[in-house]
Chain A
């Protein structure tokens, strides 16, 4: 059986600098995959590539049996891939509820969104989502007024709203308190199974709490893959992180 998402021999070059170098990565359906690695390993670049923000110079990507190569971003999104950015990206001038409404993108065409009264159709979903990410009290506030942690939550909520089959999360817990991080971990465990997730994280505690399989990247390549304990005992991984006190404190 083919993997759900498959990156085969992918190379990304920025003016000669190889951000990804012959990377191979397979993710199966319903999995929660954590992607870790030292700075500059190419984790964010890998996510950028999958969601179409950048294009590879060699290699190919297939998702659920379709080739994603050369597709525009919105087509990749419609194929069922959602993305959360490292710098939380929400619509700052819109209210929280409008942010969630935009993210309910079941009908992305222009004409289907011209019907009057369409906004009410999303109300129920918006309420449910707001409750899920704890923003019920903030629904009428512009997103610009949210705290950093709340903004992260809002974007996560928007991804749930989008209901993508594959969700790419880039450092979802950055700027969150320990308690918020725990809540995020709970949420991710609930999403697992229904959605396939790829999460880039630095926080090893978080990674251990949620991940089945961990992929370690280094210098644009896949260095190791396995469970948390396998990864921690892997000499190559230790070497890549050497001088930084081992993987746990990365």
Chain B
């Protein structure tokens, strides 16, 4: 056995620039409340962080695994409803029905809590379900698609269709789901004796910790060999198969993981917004997620996250004026088309190529010397 050589170019696993950037952003997110002494603003930032998490989850499936999920908001919405359902059942004043029925069920003449609401009496179950249900739905959908060897374009449209249909079903079954209005008037989440008020610091920290955890977890996943293999699948699916990897299994895994993170983001969104609505799994939001990802850089977890915060932040700032907001959608559409055409790797791609360029400029003599030394040694 050879001794590992410390100077060899590939044994030298330096912490990548991306990891450093991720840690910086995480640190900034954690200390933000110290800088921002405004509960209203903090709530807003928490909202953007949740949306960033959602975009990051799409980057995992789209940028890394090459699975363009146009219905990413479906997982988000499922998580959001799971949380809203359990919080609704905890709301004391709306226990107006004979068995503590949610108000909208009473208005719709439902006399008994439907069976699929029962387990949500348990908050622990709901938190579990908020990630497990989206992941299971994605895995099931993925099983059909990836085992049938459906390619990119088909996946995109099937996921979009699945989300649109679920959205219609939720609106249609209003006696069980609150329909168009969603589920409103919720209790506060209580965990380990802490109550999470949407405008309190505790909620901000909850969001910040979940986001940091999800980001680092997703990054760790991309650095495992499985993470490498899903990128290989994105590049050349059939080639991977001839090395003995079960491509479908990897795709299902990546797709489900991405859905679970989106589900977690959805749960947090309910806590931050204090309601769940069919718009959380609407086409509009799903498109936005894709736009954020494209702007920030689909192949970079951090890029997608920051892209979401940037774009949603600008939109939020403009939303004071209704006309602005309407023009904004138009501008967004145009910007999106331009980015797809001319900047397919988004801002993260731009930054990364500028960075490489800058390094090549300053270190060129060094690098070529290094290279000469290597060839002589290796030959």
Contact = CB atoms under 8 A, between A and B. Distances in A.
Given A82-B242, A89-B236, A118 B378 contact: no
B8 A74 contact: no
A119 B249 contact: no
Rank and list the top 9 A-B pairs by shortest CB-CB distance, nearest first: A77-B244, A113-B226, A91-B235, A113-B225, A78-B244, A105-B243, A73-B241, A108-B244, A118-B225
A93 B229 CA distance: 12
Nearest to A98: B228
Contacts of B375: 137
Interface centre among B225, B234, B253, B371 (most CB of A within 10 A): B225
Interface in B56-114: none
B2 interface: yes
Interface string A26-53: 0000000000000000000000000101
Interface in A46-85: 51, 53, 72-74, 77-78, 82-83, 85
30 contacts: A73-B242, A74-B242, A74-B244, A77-B243, A82-B242, A83-B242, A85-B239, A89-B238, A91-B231, A91-B235, A93-B235, A94-B231, A98-B228, A101-B228, A102-B228, A103-B243, A105-B245, A108-B243, A108-B244, A110-B246, A110-B250, A113-B224, A113-B229, A114-B226, A115-B224, A115-B225, A119-B225, A119-B228, A120-B11, A136-B378
B10 A90 contact: no
Interface in A96-152: 97-99, 101-103, 105, 108-110, 113-116, 118-120, 122-124, 126-128, 131, 136-137, 139-140
Interface of A: 51, 53, 72-74, 77-78, 82-83, 85, 89-94, 97-99, 101-103, 105, 108-110, 113-116, 118-120, 122-124, 126-128, 131, 136-137, 139-140, 158, 162
Interface of B: 1-2, 4, 8-11, 13, 220-221, 223-226, 228-229, 231-232, 234-236, 238-247, 249-250, 253, 371, 374-375, 378
Contacts of B235: 91-94
Contacts of A126: 10
Given A74-B245, A93-B231, A101-B228, 11 more contacts: A77-B241, A89-B236, A99-B232, A102-B232, A102-B243, A103-B243, A109-B249, A110-B226, A115-B225, A127-B11, A140-B9
B220 A116 contact: yes
Contacts of A108: 243-246
Nearest to A77: B244
Nearest to B226: A113
Contacts of A105: 243-245
Interface centre among B8, B229, B231, B242 (most CB of A within 10 A): B242
Contacts of B220: 116
Q: Chain B binding site: helix, strand, loop or mixed by DSSP? A: helix
A180 to B, nearest CB: 15
A137 B225 contact: no
A74 B243 CA distance: 7
A97 B243 CA distance: 16
Contacts of A103: 243
Nearest to B231: A94
Contacts of A99: 232
A94 B232 contact: yes
A91 B243 contact: no
A74 B232 contact: no
B374 A136 contact: yes
A114 to B, nearest CB: 5
Nearest to B254: A110
Given A89-B239, A116-B224, A119-B224, A102 B229 contact: yes
B245 A91 contact: no
Interface centre among B2, B228, B238 (most CB of A within 10 A): B228
Contacts of A127: 8, 10-11
Nearest to A143: B235
A170 to B, nearest CB: 12
A109 B229 CA distance: 11
B224 A110 contact: no
Nearest to B220: A116
A50 B158 CA distance: 33
A131 B10 CA distance: 13
Contacts of A83: 242
B152 to A, nearest CB: 15
Interface centre among A51, A97, A105, A110 (most CB of B within 10 A): A110
Contacts of B378: 131, 136-137
A114 B246 CA distance: 15
Contacts of B247: 74
A140 B10 contact: yes
A141 to B, nearest CB: 11
A13 B231 CA distance: 35
Contacts of B253: 110
B296 to A, nearest CB: 18
A105 B1 CA distance: 20
A114 B232 CA distance: 15
Contacts of B244: 74, 77-78, 105, 108, 162
B225 A101 contact: yes
A109 B220 CA distance: 18
Contacts of B245: 74, 77, 105, 108
Contacts of B236: 89-92
Nearest to B11: A123
Contact of B239 (A91, A115, A131, A139): A91
Contacts of A82: 242-243
